[in-house]
Amino acid sequence: MVGMARAGKSEKFVNAREMGVVACRRCTKAWPLGVATCGRCGHTLVSRDHLSLHRVWAFWVLGVACYIPANIFPMLNTRTLFLNEESTIISGAVELAQYGNLGIALIILFASVVIPLSKFWAVAFLAVSVRQQRVISTRFRQVLYEVVEYIGRWSMIDIFVVAILSALVQLKTLASISPGLASIFFALSVIFTMLSAQAFDPRMIWDVQGKDGGPRRDE
Amino acid sequence: MKDTLDMQAPAGLDDLIVCPQCDAAYRLKRPGHGERAICQRCHKVLISPRKDAGLRIIAVAFAVLFLILGAAVFPFLTIDAAGNRNAVSVLDAAFAFTGGSLLLLSLAALALIILIPLVRVLLILYVLLPLVLDRPAARHAIPAFRLSEALRPWSMAEIFAIGCAVALVKVTDLANVGFGPAFWMFGLLVVLGIAQDSFMCRWSVWHALENPKNS
């Protein structure tokens, strides 16, 4: 690992913004403040995206709104010789647990309930906390942001399972599985929350530091 | 922050690298092969050049290309219950829900599993092949690489592989299920995807696209 020299003479970290520089978030090239698009990659340059919080909240609300019907409507319709049953996300997982597949039930519950709910909480927490002057451990919020960015996609697992099952289990009269209405809402919810997390500008996490009484070193 | 004012000289901008995640500015010092430059504030990896990275990425990209095509066509799960056999490929799965609004869902799934990974790998080949062969950068290479980066979070082949395993367990009490060849292809795709990410130094690619002679 190469330690690069900090720009500026002190031991403190210097934000590009304070140097009159705006950096491209796609390709990291530095430009003078005020340049509108990156001359290298063509990405739009915004030193601090103050509209980004509006986008975060807009997608967040859509994500939550889609998550509710996703849990009410059935996710899977299973038709076997004798019965025709509809299961929601949670009832499907409970059934799996009752049949003894505890591990898979936990994966499904984790991917479809724990991850989305904690993502809603985490994105809201990040968006609220940049507004507060009080410094809530920046390191913690940075880690939270990275986890949210990384883990959000994995919620799609349940959608893929539904898709696979409905294609696979088409055994004429014996058994067949088809996707329920909830699958669309759930997919939309995952997509909206991913967009919400992507709209968040992580540089704002570190700005609060600068505002109240000089940068604080976290190491 | 008064002590930073003298850094405002515009000539110094090329020597500057800024962490895209936390906006910390550093004076650029290019790491050697195998070394990494890491933002000391938020620990994001800024530059991580590898020896022959371009060649390796291209080799991996060709492997990924053929695997994706194979994984789309070959069946990934087979089911066998009381004489009824069914083997499904991703294309079958995608067109399983053809009824009304569920069609949207199947198109979205097909895009996430096959189309987006395929487009990404083609874009990477398009951008990197000329660079590695010391040719001038391909036309529109810059927007192509930007698109490929933007698509990165939406390429979900590895999540689909886990989904296969979960689906398999879900129906084992209903019927006999087994993995088809495409499942193993998806498994390999997961590994290759990780390998490609570790070779790919985005900063170096941008730098090479900007200064073709230095690459």
pLDDT digits (tens, 9 = 90+) for A29-60: 888 887 888 878 778 887 777 778 889 999 99
Domain B2-47 = CATH 1.10.10 = no
What does B55-92 look like in DSSP terms, one character per residue?
HHHHHHHHHHHHHHHHHHHSEEEEEEETTEEEEEEHHH
Taking an 8 Å cut-off on Cβ atoms, the answer to whether B142 and A41 are in contact is: yes
Taking an 8 Å cut-off on Cβ atoms, the answer to whether A7 and B26 are in contact is: yes
Q: Where are the domains of chain B?
A: 2-47, 53-214
End-to-end CA distance of chain B: 37
- A105 touches B at CB < 8 Å: no
Residue-level pLDDT at B98: 60
Judging contacts by C-beta atoms under 8 Å, the chain B residues touching residue A218 are 41
Q: Vertex B152, ends B146 and B158: CA angle to 5°?
A: 160
Residue A70 CB-density burial (10 A; 0-12 exposed, 13-18 middle, 19+ buried)? buried
Judging contacts by C-beta atoms under 8 Å, the chain A residues touching residue B71 are none
Check pLDDT > 70 for residue A214: no
Taking an 8 Å cut-off on Cβ atoms, the answer to whether B202 and A159 are in contact is: no
- A212 touches B at CB < 8 Å: no
pLDDT band at A5 (very low <50, low <70, confident <90, very high): low
Taking an 8 Å cut-off on Cβ atoms, the answer to whether B86 and A104 are in contact is: no
Among B13, B22, B113, the strongest candidate for a mutation testing the A interface, having the largest count of A CBs within 10 A, is B22
Judging contacts by C-beta atoms under 8 Å, the chain A residues touching residue B96 are 163, 166-167, 170
pLDDT digits (tens, 9 = 90+) for B60-82: 999 999 998 988 888 888 887 76
**Closest to A58 measured CA to CA, from A112, A122, A151, A127:** A127
- Strand pairing report for A175-179 and B45-47: unpaired
pLDDT digits (tens, 9 = 90+) for B4-62: 333 444 446 777 888 888 888 888 878 888 788 888 888 888 888 888 888 889 999 99
Q: Which two tokens stand for residue B132?
A: 């590695």
Q: Which residue of A has its CA nearest to B145?
A: A41
Q: Which residue of A has its CA nearest to B16?
A: A30
Residue-level pLDDT at B11: 46
Q: Which residue of A has its CA nearest to B45?
A: A1
Tell me which residues of chain B, numbers 47 to 106, contact chain A at a CB-CB cutoff of 8 Å. Answer: 76-77, 79, 81-82, 84, 86, 88, 92-94, 96-97, 101-102, 104-106
Pick the CATH number of B53-214 from 1.10.10, 1.10.132, 1.20.140, 1.10.3470: 1.20.140
Partner residue facing A161 (CB), from B7, B112, B163? B163
Least confident of A16-25, A56-65, A149-158: A16-25
- B183 touches A at CB < 8 Å: no
Cα dihedral A27, B40, A215, A142 sign: positive
pLDDT band at A143 (very low <50, low <70, confident <90, very high): confident
Q: Vertex A45, ends A43 and A47: CA angle to 5°?
A: 150
pLDDT digits (tens, 9 = 90+) for B118-170: 999 999 999 988 888 888 777 888 889 889 988 888 888 888 888 888 888 77
Type of residue found at B165: A
Residue B159: CB atoms within 10 A of its CB come to 20
Cα B128 from Cα B196, distance rounded (Å): 13
Residue labelled with tokens 């304070």: A18
Judging contacts by C-beta atoms under 8 Å, the chain B residues touching residue A75 are none
Q: Which residue of B has its CA nearest to A42?
A: B143
